[in-house]
Amino acid sequence: MEISQILTEIYPLPPESITKMCEYINEVSYPKGHIILRAGKIEKKTFFIKKGVVRAFATPGENDITFWFGEEGETVLSMQSYVENNKGYEHVELLENCDFYEVHIRDLQELFKTDIHISNWGRKLAEKELVKIEKRLISRELQSAKQRYDELICTRPSLLQRVPLKFIASYLGITQVSLSRIRKEK
């Protein structure tokens, strides 16, 4: 996926603003298993997935809790670092070899000061991330595991081929055994 398409899907930008942003964006690649964001660290970069799939997780106890998957076109960032320059709570692991577009948060902040279109884009990025978090929270609290699984199949069917079932189960808040039961009912 091209960076101009990713940026525009977040918020439409005039060509001059896209050109300005692209001056600060680099392409990088990392192997499967790489941790691109680390909990307890102030992250200095934001990433956009060109190719690949990632998962965000926390480790509050002995087991990881997966709470988000990202695919092509999605943004990978620590909201704590992006908004407040604080340490993040999440790890983000690559589940495939991945290609990204990366930009330093400090460069974005400078662009926000000099280009109103990019500033509006940054606000829209934060708003979209907030809505994603809200949807995940409400889904986890108000839907059954089967409903969450059905929604995942409907909205992101490719994840079932790209993500190990143990991470899907963790994302749904259930055991792999429970996930197997739900899948057999289909």
Least Cα distance to 90 among 133, 27, 153 occurs for 133
pLDDT at 161 > cutoff 80: yes
Q: State both tokens at 34.
A: 């790489």
Mean pLDDT of 144-162: 93
Domains belonging to the chain, first-starting first, are 3-142 (2.60.120.10)
Answer whether 119's CB lies under 8 Å from 127's CB.
no
Supply the DSSP symbol for 143: S
pLDDT band, very low/low/confident/very high, at 62 (cuts 50, 70, 90): confident
pLDDT at residue 127, rounded to an integer: 95
Q: Write out pLDDT tens, residues 94-123.
A: 999 999 999 999 999 999 999 999 999 999
88 in the Ramachandran plot: left (φ > 0), alpha (ψ -120 to 50) or beta? beta
CA distance 63 to 8: 37
Q: State both tokens at 160.
A: 């079932």
pLDDT band, very low/low/confident/very high, at 140 (cuts 50, 70, 90): confident
pLDDT at 186 > cutoff 70: no
Q: What is the pTM of this model?
A: 0.93
